[in-house]
Structure 1
Amino acid sequence: MTVHDIRAALAADKATVGTWLQLPSPDVAELMARAGYDWVAVDMEHGSFGRTGLPDIFRAIECGGAAPFARLPVAAKTTVKAALEAGAQGLIFPMIETREQLNQAISWAVYPGHDDGRAPDEPLRENRGVGYCRANVFGKDFDAYMTRRAPELFLVAQIEHIRAVENLDAILSHPRLDAIMVGPYDLSGSMGLTAQFDHPDFKAAMERIHAACKRHKPLMGLHIVQPDPEELRRQIAAGSRFIAYGIDSVFLWRGAERPR
């Protein structure tokens, strides 16, 4: 599975389902990729990943047949560069609350001269640094990466705070944004309702997000943290198209816990 395949599926209104990786093991990364997911997102925010280990993790995901994505620890120049140069095909930017934050994050992921989605009246921002790295096979595939693969990066903004919900139209109108992903625990926490997903106020916020996605190009996405096939089917039926399903550590807990 490649980013091109993922976009083709989404263009046909099919959901793309990936999963979340927190354990810094290439073996676990390959196993999760071979479990049938379209993409596997390396959680650089809460997982135990160092920069030197990322290439092996991404290689393992590719070996397993999935596209390697990275959820960054923070949308910053150094973290964007670390993930992309190691070979990430998609980036998930955490805690995006404003259009300005998103503009800056995307600019760091886009090479000079490539379309970063800025509006004519928005200022030019610092772009991605150019250099040899694992992503372009240390220069061997430099031209191909620059002209074909780099412009295809899949870019996702995480909606994790009620302030982001207030700014949704500005965020979702960014032409370079492919999808959003709701972080349910952080979003509910920002409302003083941590993990109260059945609370009317949280449900109302989710309805606002769904409605905003229908008004704009970026696709609705979310993380189903606790694996539940029925919830996955329900979210797809409700219109979610970019879904992270489970976490490697949660799958391990469920399978390994001693029977009582």
Structure 2
Amino acid sequence: MNETITRAFSAALRRPGICLYRRPVGYPLGASRKLSSTCRLHTMLKSNRLKQVFLEGGRPAMGFWQMIPGANVSRILAKSGADWVMVDCEHGNIDDAAMHDAVPAIAALGVSPIVRIPDRQPWMVKRALDSGAHGILVPLIRTVDEVKQVVSAAKFPPDGTRGFGSPIAMQNFDPEPTFTEYLQQANESLLTMVQIETKEALDSVEEIAPLVDVVFIGPFDLGNNIGHPIVNGKMDVELDEAIARVLKATVAAGKKAGIFCSSGEQAKQPHPSLLNKPAMSQKCVHQGCGKTFADGSDEVCRYHPGPPVFHEGQKGWKCCKPRVLTFEEFMAIEPCTEGKHSTTDLPPKIEKKEADPALTEASTNFAPPPPRAPVAAPQHIPTPPPPAAESEDDDESIEIPDGRICRRKGCGATYNKGSAREGESCVHHPGAPIFHEGSKGYSCCKRRVLEFDQFMKIEGCKTKNRHLFVGGEKKNQEKDANGSAGEEVVETVRTDFYQTPTSVIASFFLKKIDKDAAKVEFQGQSVDLDLPTTDTPVPKRYKTQVPLFGAIDTDKSSFKILGTKLEVTLVKADGSSWPVLRSDDRLTGEILQVGRAGRA
């Protein structure tokens, strides 16, 4: 929860002579029961869970900081395994009424409600304790006299000056004490805590510690007041020495100490001054780690040495393979590398393993490459003119096949043969589709979506009064014997190729090729293609002769037809490198190296 901060109190040794009362297993909180006269002497003391942890010793008392109002917030924190919950009336958004709601909600769950009051005014001390709080925390203490005034305001006479009369306070202890028992036991059972966060208080901490139950260290304000603020989570040596001084004074006085902790792990660790170690905690900046460590720590750092990768909606790290879709899953990807913590921006270099001498020797025993054939000089071929713009209207001389779909993007209207075309409305996208960083849309409008199904449903942004079913495609259609449109002639298709030392693998991209009717014939230095498709209602045909850059072995060459392309494997006759696929393609002057490079 963003509004709560984990805090921890140091453990304490159990004091002798205290009668400890424990609720039997299964006994409901708040149920009435008769107690012996001996146990009645310490009814409130047993109900103060925080003080019981101090008395029992053996572990720190863990708690949470409540800074937003609401009894439900208080209950959630109290149910989280805490020994205490601090109701912050100083920096939190909690007024007097919200405090009176929070304290009983926390106490009802067997957890100690502690109230941090805004100032050391006696009436604030009284209001907090009268609400039923098990203790108070007073901020910004400066002098010993101020501490004495706080202690006096928190104690009933003869130990102090607190007035008695609240009917509410007793209800927040279990078993509930009587008025007389509360008056008699409050001074011993309730906790008085002060914060050491000013230079004046630090200078007098040896005198302050014996006067209170708990000395709480406010590291941020303390650092600011002594001129050594915490910057980027890092403490200066002077601040750490000041904290060590407070701890030493508290231990010498036989009292308890508390301090702000930024994590549960930090709360479990004793202060280095108690272990005679230097206190230089730093935060590791390795990606995926971010832990706090001390100088000289041997703790293993698990991190990602590579940068994060975000592509097409997927997220991951370049150094390892997992790819996820959500940011939460990305943050949970386990680090792939182990090393030592670091405070530098760059992670340590990964040690490279020495190559196996046997493999190195074997790699040098390759036969020298065959001599390279001379490369022809680059040819200058003028840039072909751009294709003519597509017609915006259907050619009336072309018969529109039944079921033909409008060719404009995003429209999707279907032609029904014999239907009138007056009053048509073609809502479409004149722009090009855009797919970028996982988002999808059209260049003509601003709407972007993530899913392809949503992209297909994006409504057009322009309107024309007629659909475009065939356009001006008369020149691209052949007619059968009856004079009706037979098939569409495809002039060119997209091609691509790559090569190995022995072959060239070329792809001709054309969808729905008719495998039974397609013809591929290999010549000495060319390939004849006749590729009809199964498109409906008008099939397409791509027919051409491809002049090749080099000679091929026609017997060993092969092809296969896939769903979106024809893939041709051309076995080289001489093993030379092909800078281009077609002999009529423009040469760039580049030399394409395949296989293993020869030694100089």
- TM-score, normalisation: structure 2: 0.36
Q: Secondary structure at the match of 1:220?
A: strand
Partner of 2:51: 7
- Could you say if the C-alpha distance between residues 37 and 22 of structure 1 is closer, same or farther in structure 2, counting changes exceeding 3 Å? same
Partner of 1:216: 253
Partner of 2:201: 164
Q: Secondary structure at the match of 1:75?
A: coil
Cα shift readout 1:18-49 (whole Å, capped 9, x = no counterpart)? 21110111101010011011010100101122
Greater helix share, structure number: 1
Partner of 1:249: none
2:148 counterpart (79, 82, 103)? 103
Within 5 Å, which residues of 2 pair with 1:106-185?
106-113=151-158, 115-116=159-160, 127-136=161-170, 141-174=178-211, 177-185=212-220
Q: Tell which has more relative contact order, 1 or 2 (C-alpha 8 A, sep 6+).
A: 1
Tell me the percent identity: 26
- Could you say if the C-alpha distance between residues 154 and 3 of structure 1 is closer, same or farther in structure 2, counting changes exceeding 3 Å? farther
Q: Give the Å deviation of 1:132.
A: 3.1
Q: Partners in 1 of 2:52 and 2:166 — Cα distance? A: 29
Q: Does structure 2 conserve the Cα–Cα contact (< 8 Å) formed by 1:34 and 1:65?
A: no
Q: Does structure 2 conserve the Cα–Cα contact (< 8 Å) formed by 1:98 and 1:170?
A: no
Which residue identity does 1:52 align to in structure 2?
Answer: A
Q: Give the Å deviation of 1:82.
A: 1.2
Partner of 1:255: none
Q: Give the Å deviation of 1:237.
A: 8.0
Which residue identity does 1:11 align to in structure 2?
Answer: L
2:116 counterpart (71, 78, 82)? 71
CA RMSD of aligned residues (A): 2.3
Q: Does structure 1 conserve the Cα–Cα contact (< 8 Å) formed by 2:217 and 2:259?
A: yes
Q: Secondary structure at the match of 1:31?
A: helix
Which residue identity does 1:232 align to in structure 2?
Answer: A
Q: Partners in 1 of 2:272 and 2:47 — Cα distance? A: 23
Q: Partners in 1 of 2:60 and 2:53 — Cα distance? A: 7
Q: Give the Å deviation of 1:238.
A: 6.4
Within 5 Å, which residues of 2 pair with 1:221-240?
221-224=258-261, 226=262, 228-235=263-270
Q: Give the Å deviation of 1:208.
A: 1.3
Q: Does structure 2 conserve the Cα–Cα contact (< 8 Å) formed by 1:159 and 1:165?
A: yes
1:18 counterpart (44, 48, 63)? 63
- Could you say if the C-alpha distance between residues 192 and 11 of structure 1 is closer, same or farther in structure 2, counting changes exceeding 3 Å? same
Deviates more, 1:94-103 or 1:46-55: 46-55
Q: Give the Å deviation of 1:150.
A: 4.7
Partner of 2:312: none
Q: Give the Å deviation of 1:4.
A: 4.2
Cα shift readout 1:45-77 (whole Å, capped 9, x = no counterpart)? 011222122222111111233111101100111
Q: Give the Å deviation of 1:156.
A: 0.8
Q: Does structure 2 conserve the Cα–Cα contact (< 8 Å) formed by 1:31 and 1:64?
A: no
- Could you say if the C-alpha distance between residues 230 and 72 of structure 1 is closer, same or farther in structure 2, counting changes exceeding 3 Å? same
Which residue identity does 1:171 align to in structure 2?
Answer: I
Cα shift readout 1:151-192 (whole Å, capped 9, x = no counterpart)? 311111110112211101110122xx1111101110011122
Q: Give the Å deviation of 1:98.
A: 1.7
Partner of 1:246: none
Q: Partners in 2 of 1:157 and 1:193 — Cα distance? A: 21
Question: Is 1:207 paired with 2:252?
Answer: no
Q: Give the Å deviation of 1:3.
A: 5.5
Q: Secondary structure at the match of 2:91?
A: coil
Within 5 Å, which residues of 2 pair with 1:37-116?
37-113=82-158, 115-116=159-160
Cα shift readout 1:64-120 (whole Å, capped 9, x = no counterpart)? 33111101100111211111111111111111222111100111111122x35xxxx
Q: Does structure 1 conserve the Cα–Cα contact (< 8 Å) formed by 2:49 and 2:111?
A: no
Question: Structure 1 regions of 5+ residues with no counterpart?
Answer: 117-126, 240-257
Q: Partners in 2 of 1:72 and 1:218 — Cα distance? A: 21
* Structure (1 or 2) with the larger CA radius of gyration: 2
